[in-house]
Structure 1
């Protein structure tokens, strides 16, 4: 991309004001407190529904309209669509958290100087507030969709198809997940595959005639070593045997067992290689059989999907008087993996700056919130600029099966 192409267009001029966003900071903090104050562990569907009510209320207050409420298998998602034509930019986030009900008693919402704390503040309720205030600053939202899901922390089992459908054909997907260390944007995420290897052997008395059995534990040990050998550290591919179990009593040759396997890959090619190898596993012991379940859960978010949007973010940050954002590769996955998997240019980590996701130290840096919202607003306006290329830059891969 040439330097001239990176000059921020006129449409951004109305939203390129960091001072106007700083004026929004008290309202942003009030909104974050409201969202954090409604606990929303993913597996508690009633809590997630109540959280959706709060997000809808705050969103309607900032955007001037209520969202559509979409309930899939009991999980509540929210969607704002602006304009009657095709969507050009998708903003994506989630309102569920990993924190159980009662966490506010031990981790209350607080603001101490520049540090805001509370369960789910960093991942990612502050990011939702950044999105709402960013969109409120854009003069014309025609062509924008904001999708807020309620099951991301579970792997998005009910929202995946919705995410892919909303992203398909968009010029950009902007993911409001928390920033990487130091406020970096997430330009690469590993793809995830999850497998279950089931082993069937034959039981026998462990003391009287163990030779008559086919030991599922021993077969499982062979499979653990075979699976672990598929990793390729040079390519960033990890293949990790995790939970394993076999047998039922201490004096019986185990007749059955199973192994869970977690796979992380940096490229679609590697994800396909591992999938083929997992399906190629064969038993080592005579009389043993294997059954494989699972497969690719999320495709990788590769740098090629993020680079053009990162380039735009750098140019827009300069116009805002902000330090240029850098890109970072991270091992964790998000719904941005799905949007990249359908061929939509994707930039992730646009939410809050802070740290401690899922941990006791979860926190948000207050001073960074206005800058983040200004950058998101400028990116939205930039993507909506007339004549901006809207075609996806990658071939949709689909990403395999959902967990």
Structure 2
């Protein structure tokens, strides 16, 4: 039996264990900023990771948030992931982990708890993990504010970064990602009685409505798919008061650095429409795009590994969403993303994972890591 078939056979024997661990991990909720739950989830993952790597986790706590790191002394490969989800605490009660046939569902099952389970399964398939570092963060869904320095430090110590975010629903890995920006717009108006003297007020809701229309005109000018999306909005205090304050969050995505910077300049140049309103802009560019050039050599190695597993056509996809791989690629470190679960519906109530493909993906990751560690050379020198 050749190497690929041995890996896949060994991974298939871990299928039941992976499914059991996935259920346990999904049930261990990890909502953004929910510190007791994040700590509990970190404790569970620290035990699992330390068992398979044979070295203890370093719990790196920043502003109370517990990130998990297993550094390698001579770090050839960094496996990167996050264990926070977008779902509030209590979601598991209304939407418990469920398996129907080949499909597993539950909050965070695809983004990205199945990817973490597969990562640990892959590490069990590798004889020598001494050159493999692992970093699991807990603030990716809120912008990686506290984990970014840690991500960048560990990426600089590595010859390659493999990100275990979800694959596409077809099973393609991800070779490029849009960059992203997050902004907060705060409008200050003036309160007044909405029925008696509305003319004395400066309506912050009206002002923010004008700003939303202005933002809509900032989308792609080059046909490149730049999106400028108003998201969270709040305004006012009571139904009979002219609102004196409004807050708006804005999400921006673009394929190029120049597009992110164009929109950044335009948002910072916004001015109030109402003469007595004031507008304050906060936030900015969060992640620059992940370019295909850095992923291409790793994709070719992944395709070679996949063929050995009987996967003839491993594709490399462009993904509109950003990940922590954007940070590592921006440093010039070869980065390949989408090495996690095959599934879809991320951030939605119908999020799912294809259970029968979990062994295949674990074997793919194991084979790719093994190849990179065995080569022990810069990725652009690997044949």
Same fold by TM-score, threshold 0.5 exceeded? yes
Q: Would you say how many aligned residue pairs link Structure 1 and Structure 2?
A: 379
Distance 1:291-1:380 versus aligned 2 partners, 3 A rule: same
Look up the match of 2:208: 220
1-side partners of 2:204 and 2:353: how far apart? 48
| Contact 1:169/1:391 (8 A) holds in 2 | no
2-side partners of 1:329 and 1:358: how far apart? 19
Note if 1:362 corresponds to 2:354. no
Which range is displaced more, 127-136 or 240-249? 240-249
Q: 2:316 aligns with which of 327, 346, 356?
A: 327
Give me the CA root mean square deviation: 2.9
CA drift of 1:167 comes to 1.2
Look up the match of 2:220: 232
Matches within 5 A, 1:256-335: 256-335=245-324
Which range is displaced more, 318-327 or 170-179? 318-327
| Contact 1:88/1:390 (8 A) holds in 2 | no
Which range is displaced more, 344-353 or 321-330? 321-330
Look up the match of 2:52: 62
Note if 1:174 corresponds to 2:156. no
1-side partners of 2:14 and 2:196: how far apart? 77
| Contact 2:195/2:240 (8 A) holds in 1 | yes
| Contact 2:298/2:379 (8 A) holds in 1 | no
Task: Give the unaligned 5+ runs of structure 1.
Answer: 1-11, 393-403
Distance 1:285-1:150 versus aligned 2 partners, 3 A rule: closer
Which range is displaced more, 327-336 or 144-153? 327-336
Matches within 5 A, 1:144-163: 144-163=132-151
Look up the match of 1:189: 177
Look up the match of 1:32: 22
Which range is displaced more, 104-113 or 133-142? 104-113
2-side partners of 1:383 and 1:90: how far apart? 11
Look up the match of 1:95: 83
TM-score, normalised via structure 1 length? 0.83
> What SS is found at the alignment partner of 1:236?
coil
Task: Give the unaligned 5+ runs of structure 2.
Answer: none
CA drift of 1:72 comes to 1.7
CA drift of 1:246 comes to 4.8
2-side partners of 1:249 and 1:59: how far apart? 51
Q: 1:126 aligns with which of 114, 118, 141?
A: 114
2-side partners of 1:65 and 1:282: how far apart? 55
> What SS is found at the alignment partner of 2:79?
strand
Q: 1:79 aligns with which of 65, 69, 81?
A: 69
2-side partners of 1:254 and 1:105: how far apart? 37
TM-score, normalised via structure 2 length? 0.87
2-side partners of 1:357 and 1:203: how far apart? 41
